[in-house]
Amino acid sequence: MDSSPIKYVKMFKRLCGPDAPKNVLLTTTQWSSANPAQGESRERELRDGSFWGGLIAEGASVARFMGTRESGLELIDWCMRNEPIAQTNVGKSINEEFVSLRQKSQKEAEHFETEIRKAIAEGDYGLMITLQQEQTNAQKRLMQAAYLEGRSSCHVQ
């Protein structure tokens, strides 16, 4: 068996702290389209094997997402009942990097907006198109950075 699941659990615990697994909800999906016997067999493999076994042994829970609004709300309710766990120093450092990246991307997008306005005022539509493409790329980086920032908080629910 590949050592990746063990490596990921160790990395997760370094990032989010040793108590984080008790707030982890491992969720299986596709139950509405799965053969029930095959789905249960696969879920058992995940639970009992090295892929999820380590996290479950550390206190993680397992639930099924049935593809319905009600099922989704039940999973959210489970998460909301958990008490957040504070970040580790590593988690804080990573989060600070994502905040910095988001701020840099925001400034870059604003800079391109200013340059686009100048190009329009000067009638340089070729430059304007190039700047718009660069602004679009900067906005994509901004959205990615904001997403990563939100995902890296390690206030595990």
Mean pLDDT, to the nearest integer, of 25-49? 88
What is the model's pTM? 0.52
Q: Tell me: the pLDDT tens digits for 92-150?
A: 777 787 788 888 888 998 999 999 999 999 999 999 999 999 999 888 888 887 777 76
- AA letter at 125: Y
How would residue 90 be classed by pLDDT, with cut points 50, 70 and 90?
A: low
Q: Which residues pair with 93 in a beta bridge?
A: none
Whole-number mean pLDDT of the chain?
82
The string over 100-133, giving b where at least 16 C-beta atoms fall within 10 Å of a residue's C-beta and e elsewhere, is ebbeebbebbeebeebbeebeeeeeeeebeebee
Q: Nearest 5°: phi and psi at 28?
A: -95, 150
